[in-house]
Structure 1
Amino acid sequence: MRKTILALGLAASLSAFSLTASAANAQNTTDYIMCPGDVLQVIVYGHEDLSTPMGSGATNSPYVVRPDGKVSFPLIGDVDVTGKTVAQFREELASRFSQYLVTPSISVNVMKLGTTRVYVLGEIKRPGLYELEKSHKVIDALAKAEGFTEKSGKKNVFLVRAGSIEVEKLNINNFLTKGDQKGNVVLNEGDCLYLTSNHKVVFSKDIMPFLSAAYYVSEIKNDNN
């Protein structure tokens, strides 16, 4: 019931073109999906040599999720965070460390959230490149771009994963009207969402020109910072 009410609220906001990023990001922090750039405080109780040094801030913690989605640890090597919540990541650490330690007790905190950069293009109020923090799902990206235009096809939101030319069709209307999470997938660095009015998309014609332009704008902004 709660999900349905939330979805209907989001639908109304998007239709009125006034959905804010903070509304889209409203979720329980225990559901946070970890991503590259996350800075972690990891404490393995009784083993200071395996823990984040006391007093370490977000700028000098040894445990930072790399662009490939992995974190490197002594003894156990790389651990992949892709698709994991903090609790799931902690459980995997405990399992991996248990091969070397007796009943390891571990805590994990995210000291600084990483961001995921995604493109939102086509029939959207503000097409462009956006950074998502805390929550990295389709609805968050649409919120950053300030919602649909009058021509947007909500049943056919096209997703192109970074480095791929395969186009996946998502039905975000089911999320907005029924709370169905199937189409509200997690986005990764460099992914592209494309909205049309005619429910058709040709990668080379519709998406590549936008990606190229957005890339150059991003490079110019980075050079000027």
Structure 2
Amino acid sequence: MRSNWKLSLGRLLSLFLMLSAGGMLPAQQEKTQGTGNKKPAEQAKPAPGGEELNVPAPVDPKTYKIGAEDVLNIRVWREGDLSGNVVVRPDGKITVPLAGEMEAAGLTPEQLTARVAEALSKFLTKPEVIISVVSVMSKRYYLSGNVGRSGPAPLVTPTTILQALSSAGLGQWAKKGKIIIMRGTERIKFNYDDVIKGKHLEQNIYLQDGDHIYVP
């Protein structure tokens, strides 16, 4: 009897010290641990591919046509003074150190690379040249109205209306059945709901430079 009393007193003392130190009762520990095990499963996950939509597509050096205002990067191996960024002028030309003025608009980065290398070969031995497009400024489409991101967007690769709208995002109150694409004096109707359901897919045309997508 006496030993039982000592055991109970010892347990009470242990519980008192544990609670004083900020601890929890065993039942509370089990409850908290059970909740903790569920937390990872309850965390919100990002929408699949949600971030990838905003990543710009790389310029294809074999097919992309350089235009006025595009920003190019010229790299000449072991020739830092000849390397750097250059903006295509409104007349479509660029100035390359040593090589002078050269036509860039209408050429692909690959074609321009070959021409610059040929021009520099008069001054350097087998120059190694790489030309890439840093920023597409010559070809754009525009978005306005009830969209998540309005304003100009670079037209780097062939882009459909649906791809453009998916990238920008539609507003909560967007009238998806009354979207208009303004192309010069032409007005092209686009029904977002129909297209995503696989209906009237002929509406989902490729955008052209200067197209304006308006979402009422």
TM-score band, normalised by shorter chain = 0.3 to 0.5
Higher relative contact order (CA 8 A, sep 6+): 1
